[in-house]
Amino acid sequence: GDSVTQMEGPVTLSEEAFLTINCTYTATGYPSLFWYVQYPGEGLQLLLKATKADDKGSNKGFEATYRKETTSFHLEKGSVQVSDSAVYFCALCDNYGQNFVFGPGTRLSVLP
Amino acid sequence: DVKVTQSSRYLVKRTGEKVFLECVQDMDHENMFWYRQDPGLGLRLIYFSYDVKMKEKGDIPEGYSVSREKKERFSLILESASTNQTSMYLCASSLMGAKGNTIYFGEGSWLTVV
């Protein structure tokens, strides 16, 4: 079945450091890919998404590019802030737009 | 904006009690989901529903049931709460089968069973 693998962390960075959180997937067809963020004590919020190969999703300084050749969707940010401390989930939705699969989440801590 | 509302953010219940967790969405979504989130275990799907009065078991349905009497409302029921059901519960909704479909989450319900 479909699956999502991401680095589990925790990841600890200093403020203004560069962030990469790796995500790879296994799926048939052409899934849509997502990054969700979960701040402490809250639900998951959509951060960005991409629906086809070579699409780049971006939001709040975060970016991820849908790479079909490497089945990856790595999350990047050029300069993290303390307020970015959260858990980040990579996810896919299958080709039929019906079944969602989530990675295990990566906890990010940004120190001042 | 899509809004998924979980009526209770924090609950404390006794072992053996019947517990209802309520969820309402305002975007006319066909699909609704209940997940459980525990440290180190990620998100685990309990049940989902793709239409009124329809339900499908997810990965961990044991000890839970659900009810969907109206399209906008999806309830999770713990018939007899146990301490191992202490967890964060997340409700979510999405459209039915659209390419680029997005799933939207509520803020979560923290349940403690004592």
Kindly list the residues from chain B whose CB atom is less than 8 angstroms away from the CB atom of residue A106.
none
**CB count in 10 Å sphere of residue A95:** 16
Q: What's the token pair of residue B25?
A: 């969405």
Q: What is the pLDDT of residues B61-110, one digit of tens each?
A: 999 999 999 999 999 999 999 999 999 999 999 988 777 789 999 999 99
Average pLDDT of chain A is: 95
Contact: B107, A43; criterion CB under 8 Å:
yes
Whether a cis peptide bond, with omega within 30° of 0, leads into A31 is no
The pLDDT confidence band at residue B52, using thresholds 50, 70 and 90, is very high
Percentage of chain B beyond pLDDT 70 is: 98
The pLDDT of residue B36 is: 97
Please tell me if residue A42 touches chain B, with a CB cutoff of 8 Å: yes
Which three-class secondary structure state does DSSP give residue B95?
coil
CA atoms within 13 A on the CB side of B33: 25
The pLDDT of residue A61 is: 97
Q: What are phi and psi of A42, to 5 degrees?
A: -120, 175
Residue in A with minimal Cα distance to B106: A43
Sign (positive or negative) of CA dihedral B3, B45, A104, B22: positive
Q: What's the token pair of residue B78?
A: 């713990």
The pLDDT confidence band at residue A101, using thresholds 50, 70 and 90, is very high
Computed on alpha carbons and rounded to an integer, the radius of gyration of chain B in Å comes to 13
